[in-house]
A and B are shown apart, each in its own frame.
Chain A
Amino acid sequence: MVLEVRGITKRFGGIQALTDVTFQVGKGEVFGLIGPNGAGKTTMFNIITSMFPPTMGEVIFMGKKLTGLKPHEVTEAGVCRTFQNIRLFPEMTVLENVTVGQHCRTKSGVWSSVFRTGAQKQEEKSIREKALELLRLVGLEELQDTFADNLAYGQQRRLEIARALASDPKLLLLDEPAAGMNESETKDLFDLIQNIKKLGITVLLIEHDMPLVMRICDRLIVLNFGKEIAQGTPEEIKNNPEVIEAYLGREEEEDLA
């Protein structure tokens, strides 16, 4: 198992955001995390990446406990994420954004940077090469010198994925990557996730675009009001009456009849 989420509960004051959620993600899987708005999906991401601690439960990643680590230590361990409300570094160029993603895999400090040691120069060169390679993967190579702020929405989403990939994650967390994308952009995203999967990276995906989720995910968990209501393959989920109820509501006619 790459990721084991064990009995996660999160309370914010009086609000119960997550209640005893447990799931496992195997190596190389694309695992979907779906549910209506406010179901606690992003809260789950924030807990996995240690942005804040859970009230109860723990997160184990490749045998290592993530709960209690600092966010940058989680990234170092091999878990990286994107954000639902895009959080790029706006006044950096596209290329620079991706180089920041490599921060925890590189080690030049103040002195080697100031004295431009051989090792530092070598490292800068490889950082640049790797960043360009990732930009090629997400199709933003041409725009490397543009400020991130000036990119179109779909391009910003892809840049966030490239930046996250730069940290060499074993597990990639994508928070609504298709939000606001048109049909052709969504198709490109589908191909991109396929390619990421081919690189041997496990993907945990929050997404509202159901056709995309059903096509790309190997397994899914469905949350509603912070509780698991179903878990299984896309086929099983599609036919689960509780899931249908959560998304579409109860069929009133039946009640009347």
Chain B
Amino acid sequence: MLAELINPYYLQVLSFILINIILGVSIYITLSTGQLSLGHAGFMGIGAYASAILTLDYHMPLVVGIVVGAILAGIVGLCIGIPTLRLQGVYLAIATLGFGEVIRVLFINLEGLTKGAVGISSIPHIGRELVKGLQDFGFKASMIGLKNNQLISLSVFLLLLIITLLIIAFFIRQTNSRVGRAFAAIKMDERAAEAMGVNITYYKVLAFAQGAMVAGFAGALFAHVTAYISPADFSYHRAVEILIFAIFGGSEVIWGPIFGAAFLTAMPEILREVNEYRYMIYGVLLVVMMAFRPQGLIDTQMIYKLKQRRKKKGVS
């Protein structure tokens, strides 16, 4: 029964949804201080390439590759975040867009390290490594009535689910704290936040580096789930796609980009025919959202109302 339900293809789609949710969270963190970044595809690429090269060429364990990939992306984020501090809105977007392109061109041209435009293939797969580990403990797929490839997909999905939930919990807690309030204050009025004693330099760089690090983390996971990466995976299209998660879902509360990522990743899978028109739909969505609901589908007011309703129910 269970065996028939577990379809590796659907699990793969669900895994990509989870990775995109992590990317959605990464853009949310940066946006939560009012910084508009189009460089997240670049950070994602740094994480992906770093982890792929470390595990493939230097035979590092997967965990080390992924963690180092994320940290490296965070460090690059720091280096980009500090000089672009003075840039606001569209100027920051242009600067980070340029950064993303530089990174992509580096991936193409550093052939010795990245294998150029061809990309890196046969990257160690998280699922296979996990199942191999389980087998060492004497656990086999057949023991719970599954085929080996089913167990691989299932373990990838479950691992990503846990990681995604932990990341979401991390940032929900951060948002509902002194740090999150400082982020929100900066987003709403930078001068006023400064006058109230918030060190805006520190928090803006922190948010930028955190966003970069989470994007790098998602990129490293991506590399080990697809087992193949190329510079095209981290192009301008990817940066826009990540941004659309936040624009469509909303960037005021963390649930916005999470919903945006889940919906927009699932949509082309459910409606097979529309897949070809994906970028066209993104374009139309951008225009429609900006015209009718610039804050995204899920906004602060909506969450506030939901909370009030729950409170009322609790009382009565």
A114 at the interface (CB under 8 A from B): yes
Q: Which of B257-307 contact A (CB under 8 A)?
A: 300, 304
- The interface bits of chain B over 185-217 (1 if a CB of A lies within 8 angstroms of the residue's CB, else 0) are 100110111111111110000100000000000
CB distance from B86 to the nearest CB of A (A): 14
Range class of the A interface residue count: 35 or more
Q: With a CB–CB cut-off of 8 A, which chain A residues contact B182?
A: 100, 103
A residues less than 8 Å from B149 (CB atoms): none
Knowing A100-B182, A100-B193, A114-B173, the reply to whether A91 touches B188 (Cβ < 8 A) is: yes
Q: What is the CA–CA distance of A167 and B274 in the complex, to the nearest angstrom?
A: 54
Chain B residues positioned under 8 Å from A91 (CB to CB)? 184, 188, 252, 300
Q: How far, in whole Å, are A117 and B185 apart by their CA atoms in the complex?
A: 24
A88–B196 alpha-carbon span in the complex (Å): 10
Contacts of A127 in B (CB 8 A): 178
Interface contact A83-B188, CB-CB below 8 Å: no
**Beta-carbon contact of B179 and A110 below 8 Å:** yes
Task: Check A228 for interface membership: any CB of B closer than 8 A.
Answer: no
Could you tell me the dominant secondary structure of chain B's interface residues? helix
A87-B189, A113-B178 known; A72+B173 contact, CB < 8 A: no
For residue B9, CB closer than 8 A to chain A, the reply is no
Tell me whether B206 and A96 are in contact (CB under 8 A). no
**Residue A156 at the B interface, CB < 8 A?**
no
B170: chain A residues at CB < 8 Å are 114
A87–B191 touching, CB < 8 Å: yes
Q: How far is the CB of A47 from chain B (nearest CB, A)?
A: 13
Give the CA-CA distance A233 to B198 in the complex, in Å: 36
| Contacts A91-B252, A103-B181, A103-B182; A51 near B198 (Cβ below 8 A) | no
Q: Kindly state the separation between the CA atoms of A104 and B304 in the bound complex, as whole angstroms.
A: 27
Set A83, A106, A113, A147: member contacting B192, Cβ < 8 A:
A83
Please determine whether A103 and B178 come into contact, CB atoms closer than 8 angstroms: yes
Asked whether, in the complex, the Cβ of B174 is within 8 Å of the Cβ of A113, the reply is yes
A90 in contact with B188 (CB, 8 Å): yes
| B174 and A89 within 8 A (CB) | no
The answer, among B177, B180, B189, B195, for a CB contact under 8 Å with A81, is B195
A73 to B178, CA, bound (A): 18
Select one of A101, A114, A116, A123 contacting B196, CB under 8 A.
Answer: A101
Whether the Cβ atoms of A100 and B181 lie closer than 8 Å is: yes
In the complex, what distance in Å separates the CA atom of A106 from the CA atom of B304?
A: 26
A33: interface (CB < 8 Å): no
The answer on a CB contact under 8 Å between B198 and A89 is: no
User: Given A91-B252, A91-B300, A103-B182, is A113 in contact with B177 using a C-beta cutoff of 8 Å?
Assistant: yes
Residues of A within 8 A of B196 (CB): 72, 75, 80, 100-101, 103-104, 163-164, 166-167
Are A100 and B179 neighbours in the complex by a CB distance under 8 Å?
Answer: no
A71–B199 CA distance with the chains assembled, in angstroms: 8
The CA-CA distance from A71 to B190 in the complex, in Å, is 11
Chain B residue with minimal CB distance to A164?
Answer: B196
Known A-B contacts A100-B181, A108-B177, A108-B179; A72 and B199 likewise in contact (beta carbons under 8 Å): yes
Q: Least Cβ distance of B299 to chain A in Å? A: 9
Q: Tell me if A202 is interfacial: C-beta within 8 Å of chain B.
A: no
Q: Which of A92, A103, A116 contacts B198 (CB 8 A)?
A: A103
Q: Which residues of A have CB within 8 Å of B179?
A: 108-110, 113
Q: Is B197 in contact with A89, judged by CB distance below 8 angstroms?
A: no
Q: Which residues of B contact A19 (CB under 8 A)?
A: none
Q: How far is the CB of B46 from chain A (nearest CB, A)?
A: 22
Most A-side CB within 10 Å, residue of B174, B178, B196: B196
Beta-carbon contact of A89 and B173 below 8 Å: no
A67 on interface, CB distance cutoff 8 Å? no
Write out the residue numbers on chain B whose beta carbons fall within 8 Å of the beta carbon of A242.
none
Residues of A within 8 A of B252 (CB): 91
Give the docked Cα–Cα distance between A72 and B177 (Å): 19
CB pair A110–B197 under 8 Å, yes or no, is: no
Q: Does A49 contact B (CB under 8 A)?
A: yes
A223 CB, nearest partner CB in chain B, Å:
22
Q: What is the minimal beta-carbon distance from A176 to any residue of chain B, in angstroms?
A: 16
Residues of A within 8 Å of B198, CB to CB, are 72, 100, 103-104
How far is it, in angstroms, between the C-alpha of A71 and the C-alpha of B182 when the chains are bound? 15
- Further pairs besides A72-B194, A123-B178: 9, Cβ < 8 Å: A51-B194, A70-B201, A71-B195, A92-B184, A100-B182, A105-B197, A110-B206, A116-B173, A167-B196
Sorted nearest first, the 7 A-B pairs with minimum C-beta distance are A104-B197, A113-B177, A75-B197, A87-B192, A71-B194, A89-B188, A108-B178
**Could you list some 30 contacts between A and B, CB below 8 A?**
A49-B195, A70-B201, A71-B191, A72-B194, A72-B195, A75-B195, A80-B196, A80-B197, A83-B195, A87-B195, A88-B192, A89-B184, A89-B192, A91-B184, A91-B188, A91-B252, A91-B300, A92-B185, A96-B184, A101-B196, A101-B197, A103-B197, A105-B197, A106-B178, A108-B179, A113-B173, A123-B178, A147-B304, A166-B196, A167-B196
- Mark A residues whose CB is within 8 Å of B: 49, 51, 70-72, 75-76, 80-81, 83, 87-92, 96, 99-101, 103-110, 113-114, 116, 120, 123-124, 127, 147, 163-164, 166-167
